Amino acid sequence: MSKEHDHGMTIIVKTVTRLTVGLIFLYGIYIILHGHLTPGGGFAGGVIVALSFINLDLAFGGKVSAKIFSRGSTSVIEAFGGIMFLALALLGLRWGGFFDNFLHPDGEPGMLISAGIIPLENIAISLKVGAGLFAIFLTLITLQKFESEKK
């Protein structure tokens, strides 16, 4: 038994999580990157990516997920997503206006590289939504732990 078995839930939950959490993460990435082709987009994909980290945190305890995605980096990544979205909007001012799709004719519609800045905006929104929801989750867990220690 390695050290990571000390915290978190039972061995059944840990095994199932180890098998599925990568698939959940990849599904979120797929939803984000194909947001301009299939249903989904930045918001839903970002929530799925955050769910994979929440799954890790619930099953293995906080130390494992803190190694990959710590609490301090959630704030940085959320701010980076917001600034990236706003910077894409402001770059459009150079070519025509706020939120101008300045990359537009850039490939066949239906291919992965198409639709101008829409995939980049999807990535920005997914960073913002995923990091924000994971930060809320970590904050609520911390508060609950503090209250249970106080008793």
Partner 1 sequence: MIELYVLLGLMIAGSLIAIEVKNLLSAVIAVGVVGLGLSIVFLLLKAPDVALTQIVVEIVAVILLIRATLNRDIAMKYCGRRPFGAIMGILFTGFVFVIALITFKDGLNLFGAPLMTVSQFYPQNAIEGTGAMNVVSAIILDYRAYDTLGEATVLFTAVVGVLTVMRSPGKKKEEDLQDSK
Name the residue nearer to partner 1 (CB basis): 9 or 11: 9
> Is the CB of 7 or the CB of 18 nearer to partner 1?
7
Rg (CA), the chain: 19
Q: Which is closer to partner 1, CB of 11 or CB of 112?
A: 112
Q: How far apart are CA 49 and CA 5, in angstroms?
A: 24
Residue 1 CB, nearest approach to partner 1 (Å): 17
The residues binding partner 1 (CB under 8 A) are 7, 31, 35-41, 43-44, 47-48, 50-51, 54, 57-58, 61-63, 65-66, 70-71, 78, 82, 85-86, 89, 98-99, 101, 104-107, 109-110, 114-116, 118, 121-122, 125, 128-129, 132-133, 135-149
CB 60 within 8 A of CB 140: no
Q: What is the closest distance, in whole angstroms, from the C-beta atom of residue 9 to partner 1 in the complex?
A: 11
Q: What share of the chain is helix, strand, coil (3-state, %, to 5)?
A: 75, 0, 25
Rounded to a whole number of angstroms, the minimum distance from the CB of residue 12 to partner 1 is 19
Q: How many CB atoms lie within 10 A of CB 55?
A: 18
Q: How far is the CB of 132 from partner 1 (least distance, A)?
A: 4
State the nearest-atom distance from the C-beta of 52 to partner 1, in Å.
11
Buried b (16+ CB within 10 A) or exposed e, 67-83: eebeeeebeebbeebbe
Q: Is 76:126 a contact under the CB 8 Å cutoff?
A: no
